[in-house]
Amino acid sequence: MGLESIGISEIANKNVKVIDQEQNIFDTSKVMMDNNIGSVVVVDNNESKNPVGIITERDIVRIVSTFSLADLEVPVRKLMSSPLITLSHNASVLDAMKLMYEQKIRRVIILGGNSLVGIVTEHDIFKFLMGNRELITTVMSEDFPIPQKEVYYDFSRFWFSNSFYK
Protein backbone atom coordinates (compact mmCIF):
# COMPACT_ATOMS: atom_id res chain seq x y z
CA MET A 1 0.00 0.00 0.00
CA GLY A 2 1.39 3.37 -1.03
CA LEU A 3 0.26 6.96 -0.83
CA GLU A 4 -0.94 6.81 -4.44
CA SER A 5 -3.49 4.15 -3.46
CA ILE A 6 -4.97 6.03 -0.49
CA GLY A 7 -7.81 8.35 -1.41
CA ILE A 8 -7.62 11.93 -0.23
CA SER A 9 -11.27 11.66 0.84
CA GLU A 10 -10.14 9.26 3.59
CA ILE A 11 -8.28 12.02 5.42
CA ALA A 12 -10.15 15.13 4.26
CA ASN A 13 -11.96 17.20 6.87
CA LYS A 14 -15.55 17.20 5.65
CA ASN A 15 -16.74 19.77 8.20
CA VAL A 16 -15.48 22.75 6.21
CA LYS A 17 -16.35 26.19 7.56
CA VAL A 18 -17.48 28.60 4.88
CA ILE A 19 -18.34 32.26 4.62
CA ASP A 20 -20.35 34.12 2.00
CA GLN A 21 -18.22 36.28 -0.29
CA GLU A 22 -20.20 39.39 0.67
CA GLN A 23 -19.28 39.12 4.36
CA ASN A 24 -16.30 41.01 5.74
CA ILE A 25 -12.99 40.14 7.33
CA PHE A 26 -14.40 40.60 10.83
CA ASP A 27 -17.04 37.93 10.12
CA THR A 28 -14.35 35.69 8.69
CA SER A 29 -12.09 36.16 11.72
CA LYS A 30 -14.97 35.32 14.06
CA VAL A 31 -15.68 32.03 12.25
CA MET A 32 -11.99 31.13 12.46
CA MET A 33 -11.76 32.08 16.13
CA ASP A 34 -15.00 30.34 17.15
CA ASN A 35 -13.93 27.13 15.42
CA ASN A 36 -10.20 27.26 16.20
CA ILE A 37 -9.27 26.91 12.53
CA GLY A 38 -6.69 28.54 10.28
CA SER A 39 -8.77 29.12 7.19
CA VAL A 40 -12.29 29.64 5.88
CA VAL A 41 -13.49 28.74 2.41
CA VAL A 42 -15.29 31.61 0.67
CA VAL A 43 -18.47 30.60 -1.18
CA ASP A 44 -20.44 32.48 -3.83
CA ASN A 45 -23.54 32.48 -1.60
CA ASN A 46 -24.99 30.52 1.31
CA GLU A 47 -27.47 28.65 -0.89
CA SER A 48 -25.31 27.12 -3.62
CA LYS A 49 -22.09 27.14 -1.55
CA ASN A 50 -19.85 27.01 -4.60
CA PRO A 51 -16.28 27.60 -3.40
CA VAL A 52 -14.70 30.69 -4.97
CA GLY A 53 -11.77 31.50 -2.67
CA ILE A 54 -10.10 31.03 0.68
CA ILE A 55 -9.03 33.30 3.54
CA THR A 56 -6.24 32.09 5.83
CA GLU A 57 -4.71 33.41 9.04
CA ARG A 58 -1.77 34.61 6.97
CA ASP A 59 -4.17 36.55 4.71
CA ILE A 60 -5.73 38.23 7.73
CA VAL A 61 -2.34 39.35 9.04
CA ARG A 62 -1.51 40.78 5.60
CA ILE A 63 -4.89 42.50 5.35
CA VAL A 64 -4.76 44.02 8.82
CA SER A 65 -1.22 45.29 8.32
CA THR A 66 -1.88 46.98 4.97
CA PHE A 67 -5.44 48.32 5.10
CA SER A 68 -7.13 51.08 7.00
CA LEU A 69 -9.91 50.25 9.45
CA ALA A 70 -12.53 51.38 6.92
CA ASP A 71 -11.14 48.90 4.40
CA LEU A 72 -11.77 46.01 6.79
CA GLU A 73 -15.50 46.29 6.02
CA VAL A 74 -15.06 45.41 2.33
CA PRO A 75 -16.49 42.08 1.16
CA VAL A 76 -14.07 39.17 1.47
CA ARG A 77 -14.42 38.51 -2.28
CA LYS A 78 -12.06 41.47 -2.74
CA LEU A 79 -9.54 40.07 -0.26
CA MET A 80 -9.63 36.30 -0.69
CA SER A 81 -7.03 34.16 -2.39
CA SER A 82 -8.43 33.09 -5.71
CA PRO A 83 -8.63 31.08 -7.86
CA LEU A 84 -8.80 28.11 -5.52
CA ILE A 85 -6.34 25.29 -5.92
CA THR A 86 -8.42 22.14 -5.75
CA LEU A 87 -8.30 18.39 -6.11
CA SER A 88 -10.98 15.90 -7.03
CA HIS A 89 -12.31 13.71 -4.23
CA ASN A 90 -10.93 10.81 -6.32
CA ALA A 91 -7.33 12.05 -5.97
CA SER A 92 -4.77 10.32 -3.77
CA VAL A 93 -2.82 11.49 -0.74
CA LEU A 94 0.26 11.51 -2.97
CA ASP A 95 -1.53 13.80 -5.45
CA ALA A 96 -2.28 16.22 -2.60
CA MET A 97 1.30 16.18 -1.34
CA LYS A 98 2.69 16.87 -4.82
CA LEU A 99 0.19 19.66 -5.45
CA MET A 100 0.97 21.32 -2.10
CA TYR A 101 4.69 21.14 -2.81
CA GLU A 102 4.40 22.42 -6.39
CA GLN A 103 2.02 25.27 -5.54
CA LYS A 104 3.71 26.08 -2.20
CA ILE A 105 0.42 25.90 -0.30
CA ARG A 106 -0.64 24.35 2.99
CA ARG A 107 -4.27 23.55 2.20
CA VAL A 108 -6.14 21.96 -0.68
CA ILE A 109 -9.87 22.20 -1.26
CA ILE A 110 -11.46 18.86 -2.19
CA LEU A 111 -14.29 18.93 -4.73
CA GLY A 112 -16.85 16.40 -5.84
CA GLY A 113 -17.66 17.79 -9.27
CA ASN A 114 -18.02 21.50 -8.52
CA SER A 115 -19.23 20.96 -4.95
CA LEU A 116 -17.13 21.45 -1.84
CA VAL A 117 -16.66 18.11 -0.06
CA GLY A 118 -13.66 18.76 2.16
CA ILE A 119 -10.34 20.38 2.90
CA VAL A 120 -6.95 18.78 3.53
CA THR A 121 -4.08 20.55 5.23
CA GLU A 122 -0.44 19.56 5.42
CA HIS A 123 -1.12 18.96 9.12
CA ASP A 124 -3.79 16.40 8.20
CA ILE A 125 -1.34 14.59 5.92
CA PHE A 126 1.47 14.46 8.46
CA LYS A 127 -0.91 13.39 11.21
CA PHE A 128 -2.09 10.59 8.91
CA LEU A 129 1.50 9.56 8.19
CA MET A 130 2.37 9.52 11.90
CA GLY A 131 -0.58 7.19 12.47
CA ASN A 132 0.57 4.95 9.61
CA ARG A 133 4.30 4.85 10.15
CA GLU A 134 4.87 2.14 7.56
CA LEU A 135 4.15 4.83 4.96
CA ILE A 136 6.94 7.07 6.24
CA THR A 137 9.55 4.92 4.51
CA THR A 138 7.76 5.64 1.21
CA VAL A 139 7.98 9.38 1.84
CA MET A 140 11.62 9.15 2.86
CA SER A 141 12.71 7.11 -0.16
CA GLU A 142 14.99 8.68 -2.74
CA ASP A 143 12.51 8.12 -5.57
CA PHE A 144 9.74 10.06 -3.81
CA PRO A 145 8.58 12.92 -6.11
CA ILE A 146 9.19 15.63 -3.49
CA PRO A 147 12.84 16.52 -2.71
CA GLN A 148 14.12 14.96 0.51
CA LYS A 149 15.18 18.33 1.89
CA GLU A 150 11.56 19.56 1.68
CA VAL A 151 10.16 16.39 3.24
CA TYR A 152 12.62 16.54 6.17
CA TYR A 153 11.86 20.22 6.73
CA ASP A 154 8.09 19.64 6.72
CA PHE A 155 8.34 16.62 9.01
CA SER A 156 10.54 18.54 11.45
CA ARG A 157 8.19 21.51 11.49
CA PHE A 158 5.19 19.23 12.02
CA TRP A 159 6.89 17.19 14.74
CA PHE A 160 8.06 20.16 16.80
CA SER A 161 4.87 22.18 16.42
CA ASN A 162 2.59 19.45 17.73
CA SER A 163 1.91 17.92 21.08
CA PHE A 164 4.32 15.01 20.83
CA TYR A 165 6.36 16.57 23.62
CA LYS A 166 3.53 18.09 25.64
- List domains and CATH numbers for the chain: 16-84 (3.10.580.10), 86-166 (3.90.1280.20)
Mean pLDDT estimate for the chain: 87
pTM score: 0.84
Per-residue pLDDT of 87-146, as tens digits, reads 999 999 999 999 999 999 999 999 998 889 999 998 899 889 888 888 877 877 777 878
Confidence of residue 162 (pLDDT cuts 50, 70, 90): low
Per-residue pLDDT of 26-70, as tens digits, reads 899 999 999 999 999 999 987 778 999 999 999 888 887 887 777
3 state DSSP class of 54:
strand
| Distance separating alpha carbons of residues 93 and 9, to the nearest angstrom | 9
What torsion do the CA atoms of 157, 159, 163, 166 make, to the nearest 10 degrees? -100
Q: Please name the amino acid found at residue 33.
A: M
Helix, strand counts (H, E) of the chain: 6, 6
